[in-house]
Amino acid sequence: DIQMTQSPSTLSASVGDRVTITCRASQSISSWLAWYQQKPGKVPELLIYKATSVKSGVPSRFSGSGSGTEFTLTISSLQPGDLATYYCQQYNSYPRTFGQGTKVEIK
């Protein structure tokens, strides 16, 4: 199975800060990676697919980069509504696997 490891597990940042979350795969997954945002008490929402493609309707401050085994999700200017847990997920092979999540807190 492909293990997905996110770092950090928690981060605290101020409104307007640039935030970067890293996701590492235990083996190459090419660009078959998605990022999700899960706000407290809500269902996860897809932000990014194929590592770098931003889903229509997602604010432009969200971007994704990387390929192979190392990926990042960047929020260019953190907003109060970005309080959430973010998950990466590989869909290169079975079983599909998620990272453990990164909780983003607002200072």
Partner 1 sequence: EVQLVESGGGLVQPGGSLRLSCAASGFTFSNYWMNWVRQAPGKGLEWVANIKQDGSEKYYVDSVKGRFSISRDNAKNSLYLQMSSLRADDTAIFHCAVTWGMPGGFDIWGQGTMVTVSS
By CB under 8 A, name the binding residues for partner 1.
1, 32, 34-36, 38, 43-46, 48-50, 53, 55-56, 85, 87, 89, 91, 94-101
CA dist 75 and 41 (Å) reads: 21
Q: Which is nearer to partner 1, 15 or 91 (CB)?
A: 91
State in angstroms the smallest separation of the CB of 87 from partner 1.
6
Instruction: Determine contact, residues 72/21, Cβ cutoff 8 Å.
Output: yes
Least distance (Å) between residue 27 CB and partner 1 = 17
Of 68 and 101, the one with the shorter C-beta distance to partner 1 is 101
Residues with Cβ within 8 Å of 39's Cβ and at least 6 positions away in sequence, in order, are: 45, 83, 84
Nearer to partner 1, 33 or 75 (CB): 33
Minimal distance, residue 35 CB to partner 1, in Å:
8
Identify residue 4 by its one-letter amino acid code.
M
Q: Considering the complex, what minimum distance in angstroms separates the CB of residue 76 from partner 1? A: 21
- Structure-token match 């696997």, residue found: 97
DSSP state of 2: -
The whole-angstrom separation of Cα 20 and Cα 17 is 10
